[in-house]
Amino acid sequence: MTPDFLLTTLIIVATPGTGALYTLAAALGGGRRNALIAAFGCTLGIVPHMLAAALGLAALVAAEPRLFDLIRYAGIAYLIWMAISLWRSGFAEQQAAEPRREAWRIIRKAVLINLLNPKLSLFFLAFLPQFVDPADPEPLATMAGLSLVFMAVTFVVFALYGLAAAAMRHGLVERPHRMRVVNRLLAGGFLLMAGKLALAQR
């Protein structure tokens, strides 16, 4: 692992995307606990893409347009559904009565957000090998180590985003009108991400 890898990873993770947006929505709806759960779920959602890159499955997605488009269309539909749900709801990712069930719901949504984005698999297919020495006798082990570092940075950055949003939650909850505005801004963000995914090319 090199300083270049850490810096590049930090820049990539800190750039707002669907995962960061979802973490903010969860934090505003349920506070710190939901923020950390969402950050964990988004981090967990990276695992399939990293495995795909390491095992060569991402190359299959890149080579097969129909498979890429199938995953992409599912991702677009899911993001639009998320946007509509946020627009209609009174509170962003409002906390349910049963904590354990709520935690699984947040994790499931966070994982799906990343899983249904084929660009992530292609990203890791192009990103990780750059930091593996061609002469490395165990390239898969090195990629696994880099992947774990990437996941750790993702969790920390997303958790910080979420905790910052949770700190503002109290003032928003007391002002339903402002919460509705924030909710609709988040919904607009998901629609924007859906449009970006719709325009994505392999």
Task: Read off the pLDDT of residues 139-181 as tens digits, 9 standing for 90 and up.
Answer: 778 878 888 898 899 999 999 999 998 888 766 655 666 667 7
Phi, psi (5° rounding) for residue 125? -60, -35
**Domain assignment of residue 120, yes or no:** yes
Output DSSP code: residue 94: P
Q: What is the pLDDT of residues 78-90, one digit of tens each?
A: 778 778 877 776 5
**Domain assignment of residue 37, yes or no:** yes
**Domain assignment of residue 24, yes or no:** yes
**Domain assignment of residue 150, yes or no:** no
Yes or no: say if 121 and 46 are a contact pair by the CB < 8 Å rule.
Answer: no
Residues 6 or more apart whose CB falls under 8 angstroms from that of 149 comprise 1, 5, 6, 9
Tokens representing 130 are: 């750059």
**Domain assignment of residue 58, yes or no:** yes
Average pLDDT value for residue range 103-124: 81
Q: What's CA 77's distance to the chain center, in Å? A: 16
**Mean pLDDT in the chain?**
78
Provide the residue range defining the domain that includes 71. 17-129+172-198
pLDDT at 160: 94
**Domain assignment of residue 5, yes or no:** no
Per-residue pLDDT band for 12 (boundaries 50, 70, 90) equals confident
Phi, psi (5° rounding) for residue 96? -85, 175
Q: Which of 190, 185, 156, 172 is nearest to 94 (CA)?
A: 172
**Domain assignment of residue 11, yes or no:** no
pLDDT at 175: 64
pLDDT at 202: 55
pLDDT at 62: 60
Domain count, the chain: 1
Tokens representing 62 are: 């890149």
pLDDT at 176: 60
Instruction: Report pTM.
Output: 0.76
